[in-house]
Structure formats: C-alpha cells, structure tokens
Amino acid sequence: MRNNAFALLLPAALLLSACTTVEPVTKDNGPRTAPCIEGGPDQVAQQFYDLRIAQPVQGLPDSNTLAKYRPYLSDALYHSLQAASSSGAGTQWRSNDLFSSLSQGPTAASVADASTIPNRDARNIPLRVDLSRGDKKWQDEVLMIHQGSCWVVNDVRYMANPAHTPGGSLSQVLEQAKK
C-alpha cells in the first residue's frame, strides 16, 4: 500500500516542480549602455578599489577620471557624480575621498568574497571592504548591482565611526549636493 501511494505521489511532485520554475531577478536592473568590466561582483569591486588606490583622487572626480570609472559604475551613480561635478557642488568635498569613510581615502583595500553571499540570484549584493591607510583600518560597504550583463558599483555605505561626511552613503551625499 505504501509503495503504491509513493508511486502516485512521485509523478505529481515532479509535475508540480516543473511548474514552479524561478527566474533570477538579476534581469530587473535594466539594460546597460556603458562598457563592462568582466567578473563577478567581488572581482569588479576589487578592480575598482585597485584603480582608486593606484590613481587617488580627492573630492568629486573630474570628467577624465569619471570616464575611467565609467565601466565600474552603475548608470545612476555615474549620472549623479556627473551632475554633482557640473553643478559646482564639489567645492565642499575637494579634500575628501567620496568613496570611503576616511577623508584621505585608503591606500589598501580588500573586498570580501561574494561566494559567501547565499542568494546568487540577488539583484544587488552588499560587500564589505576592509580598507586601510597607515595605521588606520576600517570597513565600508560597497553595493554592487547587476546591470545588463555587468556587475557595477551602485553605492558606497560609510561604516567607519566617525565618517567624514554627514551622509551615511555616497548616494546620500550626492543627494544633499542637489539641495
């Protein structure tokens, strides 16, 4: 009797599982018009921080530097930085690093491995970044999103205490610049 019930339930279970296909939500962030950097979210974030450390810039990036950052940045973050730069709002941040909690910026960065993220279908992935400059060490968080076929930086959350800016994240700082 048990074997007959199991034999009847097995095809029904297989039929139901075929009807519940889950589509990854990574398709929700829209198309991308800019070039891409190859790799997963942690690899792209690490390459972005490596570029920033190799070519440090204080304050809002100028148009040449912003062009170098373009493949690493989401469309929204790129356009926000571009708008803040062209509005002249950058004068208040000339001596501060916008991409980290410490105003001088890091001289070393290590992005957490994305393999520790349990949901591989996530449309955004926050990654911890261990940063240092001399004897100072701190962590920030970089929010990576999947845009088109690329992983890109969408925001930086300042986690050091105290952070040098009044906003808790890069996007909040840029939003305050509009006011």
Q: What is the pTM of this model?
A: 0.77
The tens digit of pLDDT for each residue in 118-172 reads: 555 567 889 999 999 999 999 999 999 988 888 999 999 999 876 666 668 999 8
The maximal CA–CA distance of the chain, rounded, in angstroms, is: 80
How would DSSP label each residue in 24-48? PGGGGG----S----S-HHHHHHHH
Domains and CATH numbers, the chain: 39-158 (3.10.450.50)
Q: What is the pLDDT of residue 15?
A: 46
Question: What span, in angstroms and rounded, lies between the C-alpha atoms of 39 and 113?
Answer: 12
The tens digit of pLDDT for each residue in 89-118 reads: 555 666 788 899 888 899 999 999 877 555
Band (28; pLDDT cuts 50, 70, 90)? very low
Q: What is the pLDDT of residue 162?
A: 67
What separation in angstroms does the CA of 32 have from each of 74, 130, 154?
Answer: 8, 29, 13
61 Cα distance to chain centroid: 18
169-134-115-120 Cα dihedral, nearest 10 degrees: 10
For the chain, the helix, strand and coil percentages under 3-state DSSP, each to the nearest 5: 40, 20, 35
170-175-177-179 Cα dihedral, nearest 10 degrees: -160
